[in-house]
Chains A and B, each alone.
Chain A
Amino acid sequence: EAAVTQSPRNKVTVTGGNVTLSCRQTNSHNYMYWYRQDTGHGLRLIHYSYGAGNLQIGDVPDGYKATRTTQEDFFLLLELASPSQTSLYFCASSDRQGINTLYFGAGTRLSVL
């Protein structure tokens, strides 16, 4: 079964702070995704990648950068965190283009004070 590990599980920062969320998948999946989950909005795609060095923009990319350093590792960067970015963040992976299953990590809860 696919394994997607996120760190940290919880993070508190201040407005204007710099935050990096990490995600590692160990199943050689090509695609990796970052979602945010908010009450009243469900899961929304921030960025995704189909391989090392590749980055695609999702539906809510403003204020976020992402970088895929290897096939296994995908990072989400908030360089000037704002309270509106307080959310539950999920990383996911899938193995190919087209119809496929998303495998999610356990999530990172971020609070921006």
Chain B
Amino acid sequence: SQLAEENLWALSVHEGESVTVNCSYKTSITALQWYRQKSGEGPAQLILIRSNEREKRNGRLRATLDTSSQSSSLSITATRCEDTAVYFCATDTGYQNFYFGKGTSLTVIP
């Protein structure tokens, strides 16, 4: 079973627009992490939001966490072409096994 899952397989936006990727999870967590993977590269962490936090920001990125509904979102404002990538949520259970979603492929159109 998928313990973490993004809600969309793929989406596209025009440069400058805002976009939100949603994630649902099915396990107890100590934190929820968002990663980005560009073509030909390994995933890189964007934001880590702990289970006692509701919102976290990192520049143009904003993540929210709702532990009651077991869901999280990642919003990107003023998108740029270089934001084109696959975005993953990952549940951190505190026991060294991170469960990754299958990812949402974001394309930013110039």
Residues of chain A at the chain B interface (Cβ within 8 Å): 4, 31, 33, 40-45, 48, 50, 56, 58-59, 90, 92, 94, 97-102, 104-107
Q: How many A-B residue pairs have CB under 8 A?
A: 57
Name which of B12-20, B38-46, B63-71 contacts chain A: B38-46
Contact for B41 among A33, A43, A102, A106, CB less than 8 A: A106
A106 close to B40 (CB less than 8 A)? yes
B102 close to A40 (CB less than 8 A)? yes
A90 close to B42 (CB less than 8 A)? yes
For the complex, give the distance between the alpha carbons of A94 and B43 in Å. Answer: 13
Residues of chain B at the chain A interface (Cβ within 8 Å): 2, 30-31, 33, 35, 40-45, 48, 50, 88, 90, 92, 94, 96-98, 100-103
Q: A41-B102, A43-B88 are in contact. Are A104 and B43 (CB under 8 A)?
A: yes
Closest 4 CB pairs of A and B: A104-B42, A43-B100, A42-B102, A99-B31
For the complex, give the distance between the alpha carbons of A107 and B94 in Å. Answer: 24
A101 close to B97 (CB less than 8 A)? no
Q: A58-B97, A97-B96, A98-B30 are in contact. Are A42 and B42 (CB under 8 A)?
A: no
Contact for B30 among A4, A94, A99, CB less than 8 A: A99
A99 close to B96 (CB less than 8 A)? no
For the complex, give the distance between the alpha carbons of A102 and B33 in Å. Answer: 10
A99 close to B42 (CB less than 8 A)? no
Residues on the A chain within 8 Å of B88, using CB: 42-43
- Can you offer 20 A-B residue contacts whose CB atoms are under 8 A? A31-B96, A40-B102, A41-B102, A42-B103, A43-B43, A43-B88, A45-B98, A50-B96, A90-B43, A94-B96, A99-B31, A99-B48, A99-B50, A99-B92, A99-B94, A101-B33, A101-B48, A102-B90, A104-B43, A106-B40
